[in-house]
Amino acid sequence: MPFALMEPLLSIPGVESVSLQVGDAAEQARAAVAAGLLIDPMAGVNDFADTAAIAAHLDLVIAVDTSVAHLAAAIGRPVWMLSRSDACWRWFRGRDDSPWYPTMRLYRQDSPGDWAPVMARLGHDLAAAAAARDQNCAEALSRKARPGW
């Protein structure tokens, strides 16, 4: 999946994006990193333990079906995984969750190669999650500011 399809997610209010890409995939994101739209902490990463340490501090990992998606889900981080319409058997059919990883949500293509509807659903859900988090934070701060709380 080309990085360009994920770029609209970088402009969702309340979302700070971190790249866990390495190698050729990381090269696709260089312009977004240079523009300050994406943080890239991967220069000092030597192994999966380093990647897991970074993922452990993220609120959410969004990834295609790669080792990073499995790693983040295995350590209990919330993961939204983008899956092809002809996905591997482990993702079953007709469901958006995973019996292997309780913190994973699947965003599956309806037809081969068509990522646009997937990204629209994911973008909508991400914007809603960011807005809910911001609202929860504002309410918590409001409660702390009240006398007697």
pLDDT for 112-128, tens place per residue?
989 999 999 999 999 99
What is the arithmetic mean of pLDDT over 24-38?
A: 85
* pLDDT at residue number 95: 85
Q: Is the pLDDT of residue 31 over 80?
A: yes
Instruction: Centre a 10 Å sphere on the Cβ of residue 51 and count the other Cβ atoms it contains.
Output: 20
pTM for the full predicted model: 0.86
Sign of CA pseudo-dihedral 106, 110, 115, 119: negative
Output 42 or 87, whichever has higher pLDDT: 42
**Mean pLDDT across the chain:** 88
Among the residue ranges 62-71, 73-82, 125-134, the one predicted with the least confidence is 125-134
* pLDDT at residue number 2: 83
Q: Is the pLDDT of residue 75 over 60?
A: yes
CA distance to 44, 85, 91, 118, 119, per residue, from 104 (Å): 27, 17, 11, 16, 16
Q: Are 4 and 28 in contact (CB under 8 A)?
A: yes
* pLDDT at residue number 25: 80
* pLDDT at residue number 142: 62
* pLDDT at residue number 90: 75
Which of these, 61, 69, 60, lies nearest to 87 by C-alpha position? 69
